[in-house]
Amino acid sequence: MTAATLLNGIRIIDLSMGWAGPLACRHMADMGADVIKVESCERFDWWRSWEATQEWIESNGAEKSTAFNTVNRNKRDITLDLEHPEGRTLLLDLVKTANIVVENYSGSVLPKLDLSFEIFRKAKPDIILLSMPAFGSTGPWSNFRAYGSTVEQSSGLPHLNGSGDDLPTMQHVALGDAVGGLTGAAAILVALRHQSRTGEGQFVDLSQVEGLFPMASHGILEYAATGNSPERTGSRFGNSLVRGVYACKGEDQWVAIECSSEDHWSALTDEIGKALAEFGDYATAKHRVDEIDSVLSDSFRDKEAKEVMRQLQSIGIPAAAALTTVDILNDPHLAQRGFWQFQERAFVGLQPHPSPPYRVGKEPISIASAAPTLGEHNEEILKTVLGLEDEDVSRLETLGVIGNRPRMPSK
């Protein structure tokens, strides 16, 4: 068995949008699940675009988003207007064929559509519903909308990052989404395992902000134990004497290094020479970290980042050059592992896709298909999964329940 066949026979109805939910479902699609993404012509995945204009529609802008295309590979796509009675009925018919439904709307959306776990369960008694709202499905914040950036702020992480005098410092423009997607993937696998062992479905309530709390656990625990927030120390951490990112030769070229033991320090002082040796042994040098940073900055400033990385790695010191996008696409290590896979995608041409970071055996999981275009599989799914006839499909198109181009909202 290969990783791409691990979930063969599993069907997932993907109602999610943006990054977190689609990323969780993409992992399942990569492992062989049949993931059917459900959008509508008026309420399409907002990662196709934040805003729609008629000009954008006419230029096929919905199919040119790199973000959308990256997290929706290996999926099929159907458009259903869930605000139309027939669209809602067809969704429930799809649910009858599935193992799990995934959504990451804010808490008020499903009720407005007269949909819920109880309604899904009437259609399919053993169905799993994974809901991924920013703040969970209960509590006073359950109906609040949020994106990965606001989720990160709500987790408290920005008050733990950075240095003491910094404003709250984010790690990423949307860290909550990426972590939420990985947490969602784990939740799906656990729920599917439970379903296969017991024959039971369940409602899984995943709060994306709570998924970030483990990354802030040191701050939460210290405050709970002492009543004080931990000191913000920038890149420095724990017992490390050196832990930072240093500028190298060229524009925006950097190397990250860590020296966290006597052996590291001894090797580093031998390599750099007298400028570091004068700081004494590891224990003594820890009292002069700012001066050491200055020496290292001077030492690396006129050297290539990759040269410094290789130099320090050769003497056993953890070091890595900060790679640009071009560096990553051309990295020989990733090339040897077959990490990048290229897929032809309508409207944008040949595009690189990162392989999943896990594999069964030596070869990467094969990426079977690029992200679908809007409504690409309408006929295929309606006919082969739901048993509709040609005239039924034509009527749904006339009603606007399905389609393959975005429409400006009619209300």
What is the pLDDT, as a whole number, of residue 239?
Answer: 80
> Which string of b and e fits 364-402 if b means at least 16 CB within 10 Å?
bbebeebbbbbbbbbbebbeebeebeeeebeebbeebbb
What is the pLDDT, as a whole number, of residue 108?
Answer: 84
361-369: list long-range contacts, CB under 8 Å, 24+ apart.
361/2, 363/2, 363/338, 364/337, 364/338, 364/339, 365/2, 365/3, 365/4, 365/30, 365/31, 366/2, 366/4, 366/341, 367/30, 367/73, 367/74, 367/341, 367/343, 368/4, 368/74, 369/73, 369/74, 369/343
From the list 379, 384, 383, the residue with the least C-alpha distance to 402 is 379
Say how far apart CA 247 and CA 43 lie, in whole Å. Answer: 45
Q: Are strands 34-39 and 128-131 parallel, antiparallel or unpaired?
A: unpaired
**pLDDT digit string, tens, across residues 281-297:** 999 999 999 999 999 99
What is the pLDDT, as a whole number, of residue 236?
Answer: 83
The one-letter amino acid code at 383 reads K
Q: Considering Cα of 123, then 126, then 132, then 138, what sign does the dihedral take?
A: positive
Look up tokens 């050196």; give the residue. 242
Say how far apart CA 244 and CA 337 lie, in whole Å. Answer: 28
From the list 382, 380, 381, the residue with the least C-alpha distance to 395 is 382
Say how far apart CA 364 and CA 355 lie, in whole Å. Answer: 6
What is the pLDDT, as a whole number, of residue 4?
Answer: 64
What is the pLDDT, as a whole number, of residue 401?
Answer: 97
Question: In whole angstroms, how far apart are CA 145 and each of 170, 246, 266?
Answer: 19, 38, 52
What is the pLDDT, as a whole number, of residue 238?
Answer: 78
**The pair of three-digit structure tokens given for residue 40, joined into one six-digit string:** 């509508």
Going from the first residue of the chain to its last (411 residues), give the mean pLDDT of each consecutive group of 10, the final group possibly shorter: 79 97 97 97 93 91 95 98 97 98 91 96 98 93 90 93 89 91 98 98 96 93 93 84 94 95 94 91 92 95 95 96 94 95 96 94 93 98 98 97 91 62
From the list 52, 6, 56, the residue with the least C-alpha distance to 33 is 6
Q: Quick one: 51 exposed, middle or buried, by C-beta within 10 A (0-12, 13-18, 19+)?
A: exposed
Helix (H) or strand (E) holding 244: strand 242-247
What is the pLDDT, as a whole number, of residue 411?
Answer: 62
The predicted model scores a pTM of: 0.93
> Angle between the 390-399 and 85-95 helix axes, to the nearest 10 degrees?
130
